[in-house]
Amino acid sequence: MSYVSGIALAIVTLLASTLSALSQTASWPTKAVHWTNTAAPGSSGDIMARIVADRLAAMWGQPIIHDNRPGAAGNLAAQAAARSEPDGYHFFFAVASTLAVNPYTFASLPFDAERDFVPVVMIGFSPFMFAVNPAVPVNTMADLIALAKKQPGKLSYATSGIDILNVPYRGSPFAANDTIAGRTEVYIDSVPAMSAHIGGDKLRVIAVTSKTRLAGYDSIPTVAETVPGFSPSGWFALVAPTGTPPAVLARVNKDVNTVLALQEVKDLLKRYAVFNGGGSLEEVQAFMRAERTAWGDAVRGAGIKPE
């Protein structure tokens, strides 16, 4: 066989392979799709996944099977997802702590967050809110920072970069009640936990950690308005095992964006304080890289040793 004939045969073979892959993707999915989740059945993380998955299943004409594997800070689910077949039928409903924080706080993991997964689409961001007991003489985040610097170590609760005393609690109601009672001065929690206190006279909500003000909570300033660039939030994202066909990744990204644009879905996710999901493959992949870098720097800066 001549050199030219060999090249021609290679081109034809590559073309045939490409057309075959496109044909398979065009008919995808032809069977059930599997989603691994760190959340327990019936929990908020499970419900959020199903809000999106149920509508995708209706679009695709195929069921989405949920494999809930709570425990070990999400590492059990991540391990199972990382070992699943990269065939376009396995995905991981991931959270920030598992893929962005755990790599720096665990001495060893049964998966590699960067190597084993390819980001597909953001489901949404879940920010936190700051509140204070009304007796604390602050109305803004700037006031709180100034008071904390003036009285280092005297204000009680936890936040990043301000010298105050951490008092951990077993759950939101306990933390809120002690701040209301004045046993602690500052309360930091998720938007759903804080929402019951917004506008009331028992706690003064002063800031939210989202990048921009949240729809429905427009009167609450962002921390970033006082501390530019400060916007740590929890997040949820759909990722796939590395090696998943790119055409499938593009299809899932497009379809999830379609679902997230539905007003009913926006309203349902808002109940769980999940906002602003969606975006392109390139955007979610860049975001994940930035998150790993940011959390790695934060953990090392705080002197936290992996265990």
The answer to whether the CB of 214 falls within 8 A of the CB of 191 is yes
Q: What is the pLDDT of residue 15?
A: 52
Q: What is the pLDDT of residue 169?
A: 55
Which residues are within 8 A (CB) of 204 and not within 5 positions of it... i.e. 6 or more apart? 131, 132, 133, 134, 136, 138, 139
Buried b (16+ CB within 10 A) or exposed e, 254-278: ebbeebbeeeebbeebbebbbbbbb
The backbone torsions φ and ψ at residue 270, rounded to the nearest 5 degrees and listed phi first, read -60, -30
The answer to whether the CB of 41 falls within 8 A of the CB of 77 is no
Q: What is the pLDDT of residue 4?
A: 45
Q: What is the pLDDT of residue 64?
A: 98
C-alpha–C-alpha distance, residues 92 and 9, integer Å: 39
β-strand pairing of 128-132 with 186-190: antiparallel
Q: What is the pLDDT of residue 167?
A: 56
pTM: 0.75
108: left (phi over 0), alpha (psi -120 to 50) or beta: beta
Q: Which domains, and CATH codes, for the chain?
A: 32-126+233-301 (3.40.190.150), 128-225 (3.40.190.10)
What are the residue ranges in the chain where pLDDT is below 50?
Answer: 2-4, 6, 14, 18-19, 21-22, 158-161, 164
Closest CA to 48 of 270, 292, 203, 282: 270
Q: What is the pLDDT of residue 172?
A: 58
